[in-house]
């Protein structure tokens, strides 16, 4: 029975890549050990993209499982199944990056040709993926349409600690290319909910406008000040000492007032502020 893309990616994410000679020590960097504690259903139900505010900036992480199973539109054909079956049961790894001699022979017999001089590694460019990827691109003439080619990628997931080692055995997929890193979701920034989209290194609101952390922080502080003004209460001096980087801690002395105000004005507030800002 053929495996689904979800099953194959799950197997890769939980594959034991051992301890690389490049490991810097400890097990925190070995993703496979943490991933093995999760079920496939837990991967499916995990958040596709997560956010945090760090050093006055919004940092997002795109979950690798969701990226590979949803965004990349990977497919499996008969050649992929033949390659993968041989490669995960091989013991001669002189065929290339995560590719055994036996699996490489499967590609050669099929007439597949490598079209990149070196494998592509996401570590070599800005990436927000939760784990690194390395892949080699191949192509073969489409027998049903000689004017076109079918492209494949021999993909490895970085499950180890140091980026120089700790990769899974390669799996072959039908894929023209891996798409840009994109994602969307509801994120809490300074205690306020935003429906946002990310594309590469930029972040947008649901109207397609670029979001800047300094603007969001200034807007949030002004909103809090207005709460006090609307209640006829002097603005506490400590409000001016709130920083973007330590917002969650700095806001604590004023949190009870903010929560009470937001709860009272919930029905009249468009784009309700999030009450849980911890």
pLDDT in tens, 214-247: 888 899 999 999 999 999 999 999 999 999 888 8
Could you tell me if 211 and 95 lie in one domain? no
Residue 274 within a domain: no
Question: Where a domain ends, among 125, 155, 179?
Answer: 179
Is 133 found in the same domain as 80?
A: yes
pLDDT digits (tens, 9 = 90+) for 179-205: 888 777 777 788 888 888 887 667 887
Boundary (domain end) residue, out of 158, 179, 200:
179
pLDDT, one tens digit per residue, over 19-41 is 655 555 444 458 888 899 999 99
Angle at 38 between CA 62 and CA 42, to 5 degrees: 65
Question: What b-and-e string marks burial along 121-143, b requiring 16 or more CB atoms within 10 Å of the CB?
Answer: bbeeeebbbbbbbbbbbbbeeee
Q: Both 11 and 138 in a single domain?
A: yes
DSSP-assigned states of every residue in 38-49: S-HHHHHHS-SE
Domain endpoint, select from 179, 199, 224: 179
Higher pLDDT, 8 or 276: 8
Q: Same domain for 158 and 238?
A: no
Residues 187 and 213: beta-carbon distance below 8 Å: no
198 lies in the same domain as 147 = no
In a domain, 278, yes or no: no
pLDDT digits (tens, 9 = 90+) for 78-133: 999 999 999 998 888 887 889 999 999 999 999 999 887 678 899 888 888 999 99
Are 52 and 87 within one domain? yes
- pTM greater than 0.95 (yes/no): no
Give bridge partners of residue 172 from the DSSP assignment: 154
What are 199's strand-pairing partners? 182, 202
- Helix, strand, coil abundance in the chain, percent, nearest 5: 35, 25, 45
Number of domains in the chain: 2
**pLDDT band for position 271 (50/70/90)?**
very low
Residue 55 clears pLDDT 70, i.e. is over it: no
Q: Does any domain span residue 17?
A: yes
Does residue 278 have a pLDDT over 60?
Answer: no
Q: Please give the residue range of the domain that contains residue 13.
A: 5-179
Length of the chain: 278
């Amino acid at each position: 029975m053929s495996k689904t893309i979800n099953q194959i990616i799950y197997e890769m994410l939980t594959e034991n890549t051992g301890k690389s000679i490049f490991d810097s020590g400890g097990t925190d960097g070995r993703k496979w050990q943490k991933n093995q504690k999760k079920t496939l259903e837990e991967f499916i139900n995990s958040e596709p993209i997560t956010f945090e505010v760090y050093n006055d900036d919004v940092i997002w992480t795109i979950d690798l499982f969701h990226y590979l199973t949803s965004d990349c539109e990977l497919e499996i054909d008969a050649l992929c199944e033949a390659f993968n079956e041989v490669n995960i049961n091989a013991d001669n790894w002189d065929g290339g990056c995560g590719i055994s001699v036996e699996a490489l022979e499967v590609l050669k017999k099929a007439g597949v040709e490598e079209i990149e001089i070196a494998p592509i590694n996401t570590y070599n460019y800005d990436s927000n993926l939760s784990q690194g990827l390395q892949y080699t691109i191949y192509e073969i003439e489409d027998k049903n349409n000689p004017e076109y080619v079918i492209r494949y990628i021999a993909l490895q997931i970085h499950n180890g600690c140091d980026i120089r080692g700790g990769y899974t055995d390669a799996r072959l997929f039908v894929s023209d290319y891996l798409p840009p890193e994109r994602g969307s979701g509801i994120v809490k920034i300074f205690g306020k909910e935003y429906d946002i989209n990310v594309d590469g290194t930029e972040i947008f609101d649901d109207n397609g406008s670029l979001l800047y952390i300094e603007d969001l922080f200034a807007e949030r502080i002004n909103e809090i000040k207005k709460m006090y003004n609307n209640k006829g209460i002097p603005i506490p001096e400590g409000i001016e000492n709130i920083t973007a980087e330590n917002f969650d801690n700095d806001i604590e002395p004023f949190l009870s007032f903010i929560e009470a105000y937001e709860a009272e004005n919930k029905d009249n507030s468009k784009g309700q502020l999030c009450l849980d800002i911890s």
